[in-house]
């Protein structure tokens, strides 16, 4: 990093303070809770976008959060970077769960793709290949190395029935 970490932390603190000022609490939260239609709620939260469904609003807010984490990662190192990376990688685990459910239900890629969270390149998965896995073991082997893969392989091994019943 070319900037001193104190400058990075000062900048991130300023952004966090700005984010806090946009949060919905007290009277603003009460007003948002009284809104009955998704398009009206969307205009109140993010007026620059048009939302027709709750899913589209949720997707936009989730995309904003993932981008915010990516932005923070560019300004952190050491333990702070590791912490924010772990926060962001939770979304990869959510995608793994969506793909695993899709595999078990034999869902099409088109159906499952709508439920996946768009992630930065380093956290993306080969969703189509994972959905085409022949077995749970093959699915686990298709995951990138790391804890999610290791834990899934351990769970598969722990629940394996050697009798085939």
Helix H or strand E segment including 165? none
> Under a CB-based contact definition with an 8 Å cutoff, are residues 123 and 89 in contact?
yes
Q: What is the mean pLDDT of residues 14-25?
A: 75
Query: pLDDT value at position 165?
Result: 47
Q: Token digits for 91?
A: 């979304």
What's the pLDDT tens digit per position in 75-90?
888 998 999 999 999 9
Whether residue 93 is predicted with pLDDT greater than 80 in this model: the reply is yes
Q: In a 3-state reduction of DSSP, which class is residue 48?
A: coil
> Under a CB-based contact definition with an 8 Å cutoff, are residues 130 and 139 in contact?
yes
Query: pLDDT value at position 1?
Result: 43
CA 33 to chain CA centroid, Å, is 25
Which range, of 24-33, 61-70, 73-82, averages the lowest pLDDT? 24-33
Please report how the helices 38-45 and 26-33 are oriented relative to each other, as an axis angle in degrees rounded to 10. 160
Query: pLDDT value at position 161?
Result: 66
> Under a CB-based contact definition with an 8 Å cutoff, are residues 117 and 69 in contact?
no
Whether residue 16 is predicted with pLDDT greater than 90 in this model: the reply is no
Q: Where are the alpha helices (DSSP H) in 23-53?
A: 26-33, 38-45
Whether residue 131 is predicted with pLDDT greater than 60 in this model: the reply is yes
What's the pLDDT tens digit per position in 101-127?
999 999 999 999 999 999 999 999 999
């Amino acid at each position: 990093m070319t900037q001193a970490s104190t400058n990075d932390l000062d900048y991130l603190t300023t952004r966090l303070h700005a984010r806090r000022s946009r949060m919905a609490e007290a009277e603003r939260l009460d007003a948002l809770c009284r809104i009955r239609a998704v398009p009206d709620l969307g205009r109140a939260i993010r007026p620059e976008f048009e939302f027709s469904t709750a899913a589209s609003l949720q997707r936009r807010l989730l995309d904003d959060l993932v981008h915010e984490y990516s932005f923070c990662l560019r300004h952190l190192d050491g333990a702070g970077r590791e912490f924010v990376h772990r926060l962001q990688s939770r979304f990869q685990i959510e995608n793994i769960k969506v793909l695993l459910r899709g595999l078990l239900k034999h869902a099409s890629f088109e159906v499952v793709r709508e439920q996946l969270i768009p992630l930065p390149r380093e956290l993306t998965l080969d969703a189509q290949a994972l959905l085409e896995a022949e077995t749970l073991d093959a699915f686990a082997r298709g995951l990138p190395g790391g804890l999610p893969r290791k834990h899934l392989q351990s769970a598969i091994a722990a629940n394996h029935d050697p009798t085939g019943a």
